[in-house]
Amino acid sequence: MKHQNSIAGINRGLLFLMAAAISATAANLYYNQPLLPSIAESLGIASENLGLIPMSTQVGYAAAIFFISPLGDRYDRKQLIRYLSLTLIAGLVATYFASSLVFLLIAGLIVGLSSNITQQIIPLASSLIAPEDRGKVISTLMTGLTVGILLSRTISGTISEHFGWRAVYLFAAALAVIFGLLLAFYLPKTKPTSNLSYPKLLASMLDLLKKYSVLRDAALVGGLWFAVFNALWATLAIHVMDSPFNYSVQQAGMFGLIALAGTLGAKVSGRLVNRYGANKLIAAGLLFILSGFVVFALWGDTLAGLIVGIILVDLGVFGSQVPNQVRIFSLDPKAQSRINAIYMLCYYLGGAVGSAIGVHVIAVGGWIALTLFGLVIIVLALIYHLMRSRKQAISANH
């Protein structure tokens, strides 16, 4: 019988700490997006090179997912998180002192690498819970992730407006210190589930990708929708700080509050995944994203159009993410860190490429070109997902 203050082995206080730490850590990957115009002015960076700044943190995060995440199956995740916290603090302080684009990109790469804390916490939590509770727990963690991703823009825009863009990273470093200490004190130790050497651990990821078609499908579709999500958020500040809006960096950051609707998508899908299945919820999420970009294409030059479009896109992205992760965590309990690493590697590589392409597309073709890019990618993702879902249904019936 479960205690009312716990969920299948996780104390609710610990679950809240995990979600809050994920939120604070994930935010580091997105603080720079509404700051791009301010950073460009401060350091004299050409507009065509601005896309490299958000891309550096995303690439660092993706690299860590491949090279660091699998270590969670081999070593105590609590110890890994401790080392990553120290590195994250160093990267954020380095960003604060950055005096050139090259310095900023290196610091961003370090921040991205050390933000792997999030990808140690998620499989750690999954390893502590029963399969039937996985949807609820992952939805709580994804809510934390959603809040971090979305509020990061509001926080960075507000701090930058009053204290300059560098102060954002001083604030982030202080948060990293606080959560680093809390996680070091409260996280449980974990036992390794693999004794493979590091090279074999990495090589085994390819075997897992070959073995599980569901993992391949989840990684591809997730990478596609996260590419358009990042293309949108990397360019939104550029769009609204120009005519006809002419907003300030703080006003641009406030769109993150609207996007908190994404937390509803994560919570609802987490509760419905056992009832309706992952494939149906993912298809519904992709339709939400598609609808959002249709609204952007038609009414993206109005405030109401942007608000409705953002809500639809974020509901779709985070509503799809939970069932996508639930279905891969069910594949192999002894390889959860590596399976999560494969999925999130594709996911954040998609995000990194989407950020860079989005900034380039809006610079060349404007907002309408950006929305068309999003529409094409999501249509392809939806068609692929529906075809694969149909094939899986046919195989299950035979």
- Residue whose C-alpha is closest to residue 166's, from 18, 336, 39: 39
pLDDT of residue 164: 92
pLDDT of residue 7: 54
Residue 345 banded pLDDT, cuts 50, 70, 90: confident
pLDDT at 3 over 60: no
Tell me the DSSP string of 261-289: HHHHHHHHHHHHHHHH-HHHHHHHHHHHH
pLDDT at 4 over 50: no
pLDDT of residue 33: 82
Model confidence pLDDT, tens digit, residues 201-215: 999 999 999 999 999
pLDDT at 132 over 80: no
Angle at 49 between CA 43 and CA 51, to 5 degrees: 110
Tell me if 56 sits within 8 A of 113, measured CB to CB: no
In terms of average pLDDT, the best of 108-117, 311-320, 346-355 is 108-117
CA distances from residue 16 to 12, 72, 177, 324, 379 in whole angstroms, order as listed: 6, 21, 18, 22, 36
pLDDT of residue 112: 95
pLDDT at 2 over 80: no
Look up residue 20 and give its two tokens: 């809050």
pLDDT of residue 291: 97
Model confidence pLDDT, tens digit, residues 287-336: 999 999 999 999 999 999 999 999 999 999 988 988 998 889 888 888 88
pLDDT over 70 percentage in the chain: 97
Q: What is the pTM of this model?
A: 0.78
- Residue whose C-alpha is closest to residue 25's, from 210, 166, 183, 136: 183
Tell me if 169 sits within 8 A of 96, measured CB to CB: yes
Say how many residues make up the chain.
Answer: 398
State how far the Cα of 146 lies from the Cα of 144, in Å rounded to an integer: 5
Burial of 106 (0-12, 13-18, 19+ CB in 10 A): middle
pLDDT at 170 over 60: yes
State how far the Cα of 1 lies from the Cα of 130, in Å rounded to an integer: 13
Q: Which CATH superfamily is domain 10-397 in?
A: MFS general substrate transporter like domains (1.20.1250.20)
